Each structure stands twice: as C-alpha cells, then as structure tokens.
Amino acid sequence: MSAEKEMWMASARRIVFSSPTSGPDRCIFCQIVTRNASSNIVYEDERHIAFLDIYPFSRGHTLVCPKEHGETIWDMKEGEIAELFRVAFKVSKAVVTAVQADGFRFVQNNGEAANQVVAHVHVHVIPVKMEDKGRFSDRRKFTPAEMEETAASIRREMAGS
C-alpha cells in the first residue's frame, strides 16, 4: 500500500469538508427540520423531510433528507439508506407529475470535492424536460410565490399517491 493511501486510510474522516457547516445547531437543514429556518416543505414523515432546493436547477428540484443529522451517506446504516431512497422514489413520482417533466435525476453528493454544499445528507430529485436533454442547466431563481405554487402541487401529488 502506498504511503499516501495509508495516510488516507488512517485519517478519521475520509470525506472532507474544509469548513464544516455541521453540528446540528448550525446546520441549515436541521433548522428546516425544527422550523427555525423557512422552506417549501413538500413531504415529511417521522424520519424524513423533503423540501424545494432554494436555488434549483429546474422547477420542482427537491431535496430529500433524513431528519437525523449526518454529514454523508457513510454516516447512515444500510437500512436507513434504503428508506431514504424509498422516500426519494415516491418524491420523484410526485415531482415529475407536478411539473410535467419528461425525466429526472437523482444526485447524491458526498464531500466538498463532490460539490456537497450543505454537510447534511441529502438526495437531489431534479426533474428534467426533453428540451433540456443532455445538459446540466444553470441554477435558477423563482419568486417565493412560484416556489410555493410548485411545492403545493408536489404536496398534492404526494397526498394522492
């Protein structure tokens, strides 16, 4: 084994954030869970919450999170990961139907190197239209009213599923 790899194996945290935003007290997603930060929530159960990304790649771009704080998917147990993706699967159907998309992406980033911005595990559900095929569109900004309208239509689909 190379010395470099040995060092990597020995380090306590192999998935790195240069300036951790974490600690449940300071984590924005934990604050959304406790309602100390506002968001457009589309789904919630005992252990999960789903809300619109505040700076979405497309209308309906939703984040699905476990409520319990953990930085990356490596902090979760296998069964919890299965549950998280079961919720993400349900959310994807509601999102795609609500915004009449033609497909969607699941994106799950771990670590700053992978562009994970908030150090609390989350799965992106990003609906895609045929005209956006093959390109990763720029992030967009919608008005609060547009965000709430989108969230409401996703909530209706979640309730109906």
Is residue 122 annotated as part of the catalytic site, yes or no?
A: yes
Least distance to Zn ion, CB of residue 50, Å:
15
Between residue 38 and residue 97, which ones bind Zn ion under the rule CB under 5 A? 69
Handedness of CA 59, 125, 152, 154 (dihedral sign): positive
Query: Could you tell me which of 150, 46, 143 has the C-alpha nearest to residue 99?
Result: 150
Least distance to Zn ion, CB of residue 30, Å:
3
Total residues interacting with Zn ion, rule: CB under 5 A: 5
By CB under 5 A, residue 104 contacts Zn ion: no
Class of residue 10 by CB neighbours under 10 A (exposed 0-12, middle 13-18, buried 19+): exposed
Where helices occur in the chain by DSSP H, the ranges are: 3-10, 28-33, 78-98, 144-160
* Of positions 48, 90, 120, 124, contacts Zn ion by CB under 5 A: 120
Q: Catalytic residue, from 69, 120, 122, 124: name it.
A: 122
**C-beta of 27 vs 98, nearer to Zn ion:** 27
Least distance to Zn ion, CB of residue 111, Å:
16
- Chain-centre distance of CA 34, in angstroms? 17
Instruction: Give backbone dihedrals phi and psi of 104, rounded to 5 degrees, phi first.
Output: -155, 160
**C-beta of 27 vs 64, nearer to Zn ion:** 27
Q: Catalytic residues, which ones? A: 122
Residues lying near Zn ion in the complex (CB under 5 A): 27, 29-30, 69, 120
